Amino acid sequence: MSDKKTFVDRMPFSQQIAGFFARIGLSPRAMVIAIPTLWLLIFFLIPFVVVAKISLSEAAIARPPYLPLWEFKDGILNVTLNIGNYIFLTEDPLYYSAFIESITIAGFSTFFALLIGYPMAYMIARAPDRTRNILLMLVILPFWSSFLLRVYAWIGILKTKGLINGALMWLGIIDDPIVMMQTDFAVYVGIVYTYLPFMILPLYANLVKLDESLLEAASDLGASPFMTFLTITLPLSLPGIFAGSLLVFIPAVGEFVIPQLLGGPDTLMIGKILWNEFFSNRDWPVASAVAIAMLFVLVIPVMLLQKAQQADGEQS
Amino acid sequence: MNEQTCVIDDKPWLDARQPPFIRIKNVTKKFGDFIAVNNVSLDIYRSELFCLLGGSGCGKSTLLRMLSGFELPTSGSIEIDGQDMAGLPPHARPTNMMFQSYALFPHMNVEKNIAYGLQRDGLNRQEVKQRVQEILTLVQLQDFAKRKPSQLSGGQRQRVALARSLVKKPKVLLLDEPLAALDKKLREETQFELVNIQESLGVTFIVVTHDQEEAMTLSTRLGVMDAGEIVQIGEPREVYEYPGNRFVADFIGSVNIFDGRVIEEDTNFVIIRSEEAKIDIHVSHGVSCTPSQKVSYAIRPEKIQMCLKKPKNVKNLLKGRVNEIAYMGNLSVYQIELEGGKRVRVTQPNTIRSDEGAITWEDEVYLWWDGAAGVVLTS
């Protein structure tokens, strides 16, 4: 007996812990996976179920402002599932057009971010080591200040008596200020500006892996620099393009702050609708239905993202 | 007479009237302060298989990259088939390169990799297909046309890379360590395959390698490079048997070097007194040197005779003790310690299977060689 004890004492601490979990039926691998699983369960799945539940209930002037989904009275369980909120979404063209506008704005913003971000990512990936780190820092640097503050700064730049109009009028290029604030243009500027790093970073991560000898080989085989880009660099960076585009597109669809601050009354994005339903109308069930619908609209691109990342992983 | 012209056809570098196909003239390449290639001049003839041989960092790859256009010479000129290469980007040069890493396009299958260069030239679909088929047959990869590079073995990838660089029928094919990534057995087989392909196509090959055995087997001529300069150019036998200086003698094969001083010098013999060997080395041919000049005497291990009994009437005789024996199968390498402490390498073929009566450790042995067996090096 005492022999066994000394043996256990001699075991490293980590092995003792592993032994304990093994005895209760958990392998170390399961333990490692358990933590993120638990996290997702508590902070993603449960709130999702709550929202889904509210979306199926009826609105009421009460606290909370909806009727319970089930009642247990006199030994009878009454479950009321109200899909009227979803039907309402399809009936009122407001929601439909807000979804379309959100997707359009997010789509174009993604395209512009790609157009601006690709050359930047390419330049950074091809820069000498020391410059590269500085350039990457510059891309990440805006995150060090508040997002809200940066959007407010754009108001200062874009407004009628703002920096751009001031400069143009001082130079004598225009006589009257251009109206940029509270237009879709301002929303595009805001979204592209805010989400550009999310486009650049995955593109950079992809492009920096690109083997330079492949470009040399293409050039050696008679491809002009443009042809080399088209036939080698671009197809090999597709996973990066996918990842970056989805990282911009997905949050842009649900964006609320930017259209609220920079957009005008015509800018109808789904995030703004959500806000209005929740806080102005206090119609939680409809707001929840909007949120759930939006989630399903976004599930498709999220799945695409996962596939793109997988493809990227296999390639390297 | 006939024989004479035949030799010259085979060896155009012996014929002064023969114009070189590639003319590298006073080429220097500097990276900042570092001189990678220092004033190299080199003529290479049509259909040659020329090897650039040297250790890492000797400038051989830089020279190759200047031929392909990836690097531009700091000074000097390169001419291929009478055309000056200055200002021509890689995609406009009549050269193709086989990269050390092969640089196969990972997103294209074998067929598309090979067709890539032809498509850039705007060939029609039919012709591209035919040329790709031809070259796939040549490298014996017909059955692998639809595979991606990641689904191929190292040897197959090497052949795809070769096919891709050959399919455009370049005037010059540049090969950067073409066999370095293969294992020994495959490398030996591929060497002969490479020579066969080169001979059947008649394309001029320039091969960069650090492997002297590879260079000897492959090349019609080779250039030994050291510190950015070409130290000797010649046929493999010439470079091996008549190394021009100590570096070449030491770099190509193994060699025993005795330092000494010329004590007698005549038109048809030289005598060198070597403190290391403690004998006077007799050289049976004239050497351009002056009396009492310091020289090195180089002799290959396989040219030294060795036996247990003292031989009679031999000139260059040394006595020593067997220190190490390395049995290599086909031959054995002996390390003999001379009386003065100097160690000498001797190789002997293992002509019989039994080890009876063989020379073994700690044996007293006599070494001797013929007066024409070694080389006197003055630099």
Tokens 């060198």 belong to B272
Same domain, B90 and B225: yes
Tens-digit pLDDT profile for residues A92-129? 888 889 999 999 999 999 999 999 999 999 999 999 98
Tens of each residue's pLDDT in chain B, 379 residues: 444 444 556 788 888 788 899 999 999 999 999 999 999 999 999 999 999 999 988 999 999 999 999 999 999 999 999 999 998 999 999 999 999 999 999 999 999 999 999 999 999 999 999 999 999 998 889 999 999 999 999 999 999 999 999 999 999 999 999 988 888 888 888 888 899 989 888 899 999 999 988 899 899 999 999 999 999 999 999 999 999 889 999 898 889 999 999 988 888 888 999 888 888 888 888 787 788 888 999 999 999 999 888 888 888 899 999 999 999 888 999 999 998 888 999 999 988 888 777 888 888 999 999 888 989 988 7
Same domain, B211 and B305: no
Chosen from A220, A236, A314 to mutate, greatest number of chain B CBs within 10 A:
A220
Q: How far is A128 from chain B (nearest CA, A)?
A: 15
Same domain, B220 and B362: no
Please check the confidence at residue A313 and state whether its pLDDT lies above 80: no
Closest CB to A221: pick one of B69, B96, B106. B96
Q: How far is A230 from chain B (nearest CA, A)?
A: 12
Write the CATH number for B19: 3.40.50.300
pLDDT value for B277? 81
Same domain, B278 and B363: yes
Among the listed residues A315, A231, A232, A209, the one whose alpha carbon sits nearest the alpha carbon of residue B149: A315
Same domain, B62 and B203: yes
CATH topology of domain A84-315: MetI-like fold (1.10.3720)
Tens-digit pLDDT profile for residues A261-300? 998 887 888 888 888 888 888 888 999 999 998 888 888 7
Residue B147 belongs to a domain: no
* Residue B362 falls in which region: left (phi positive, over 0), alpha (psi -120 to 50) or beta: left
Q: Is the dihedral of CA A264, A266, A272, A278 positive or negative?
A: positive
Tens-digit pLDDT profile for residues A34-70? 888 899 889 989 999 999 999 998 888 877 888 888 8
- Contact A224/B91, CB-based, under 8 Å? yes
Q: How far is A235 from chain B (nearest CA, A)?
A: 8
Same domain, B57 and B180: yes
Residue B285 belongs to a domain: yes
How far, in Å, CA of A191 to CA of A110, rounded?
A: 9
How far, in Å, CA of B326 to CA of A37, rounded?
A: 62
Same domain, B177 and B300: no
What residues form DSSP beta bridges with B257? B298
Residue B128 belongs to a domain: no
The pLDDT mean for chain A works out to 87
**Residues in chain A closer than 8 A to B121 (CB atoms):** 222
Closest CB to A222: pick one of B99, B107, B117. B117
Out of B209, B231, B249, a domain closes at: B249
Write the CATH number for B316: 2.40.50.140
Chain A residues in contact with chain B using a Cβ-Cβ cutoff of 8 Å: 211, 213-214, 216-224, 227, 231-232, 235-236, 315
How far, in Å, CA of A203 to CA of A120, rounded?
A: 9
Question: Going by C-beta distance under 8 Å and a sequence separation of 6 or more, which residues neighbour residue A205?
Answer: A240
Name the residue ranges covered by the structural domains of chain A.
Answer: 2-79, 84-315
Out of B249, B271, B298, a domain closes at: B249
Same domain, B226 and B288: no
Chosen from B65, B85, B99 to mutate, greatest number of chain A CBs within 10 A:
B99
- Contact B95/A223, CB-based, under 8 Å? no
Q: What percent of chain A has pLDDT over 70?
A: 93
Same domain, B206 and B235: yes
Same domain, B352 and B228: no
Among the listed residues A202, A159, A177, A218, the one whose alpha carbon sits nearest the alpha carbon of residue A312: A202
pLDDT category at A1 given cuts 50, 70, 90 is very low
Residues of the domain holding B55: 2-94+170-249
**Residues in chain A closer than 8 A to B99 (CB atoms):** 213, 216-217
**Residues in chain A closer than 8 A to B113 (CB atoms):** none
How far, in Å, CA of A276 to CA of A273, rounded?
A: 5
Q: How far is A234 from chain B (nearest CA, A)?
A: 11
What amino acid is encoded at B145 in this protein? Answer: A
What amino acid is encoded at A163 in this protein? Answer: L
Residue B13 belongs to a domain: yes
Residue B20: count of CB within 10 angstroms of its CB: 18
Same domain, B206 and B222: yes
pLDDT category at A134 given cuts 50, 70, 90 is very high
- CA distances to B233, B249, B355 from B241, in Å: 13, 9, 31
Tens-digit pLDDT profile for residues A220-269? 999 999 999 999 999 999 989 988 998 999 899 988 889 989 988 878 88
Chosen from B107, B160, B171 to mutate, greatest number of chain A CBs within 10 A:
B107
- Contact B96/A236, CB-based, under 8 Å? no
As for how many domains chain B has, the answer is: 2
Is-contact B245 B101, C-beta < 8 A? no
Residue B292 belongs to a domain: yes
Q: Which helix (H) or strand (E) holds B281?
A: strand B279-283
Q: For residue B348, which phi and psi values (nearest 5 degrees)?
A: -135, 135
Please check the confidence at residue A12 and state whether its pLDDT lies above 90: no
Is-contact B159 B144, C-beta < 8 A? no
pLDDT value for A83? 87
Please check the confidence at residue A8 and state whether its pLDDT lies above 70: no
What residues form DSSP beta bridges with B334? B325, B346
How far, in Å, CA of A213 to CA of B231, rounded?
A: 30
Out of B249, B266, B288, a domain closes at: B249
Same domain, B192 and B298: no
**Residues in chain A closer than 8 A to B92 (CB atoms):** 222
How far, in Å, CA of B345 to CA of B366, rounded?
A: 13
Q: Where are the beta strands (DSSP E) in A175-223?
A: none
pLDDT value for A264? 81
Please check the confidence at residue A181 and state whether its pLDDT lies above 80: yes
Residue B346 belongs to a domain: yes
Chain A touched by B120 (CB under 8 Å): yes
Closest CB to A221: pick one of B70, B107, B117. B117
- Contact A222/B120, CB-based, under 8 Å? yes
pLDDT category at A133 given cuts 50, 70, 90 is very high
pLDDT value for A199? 96
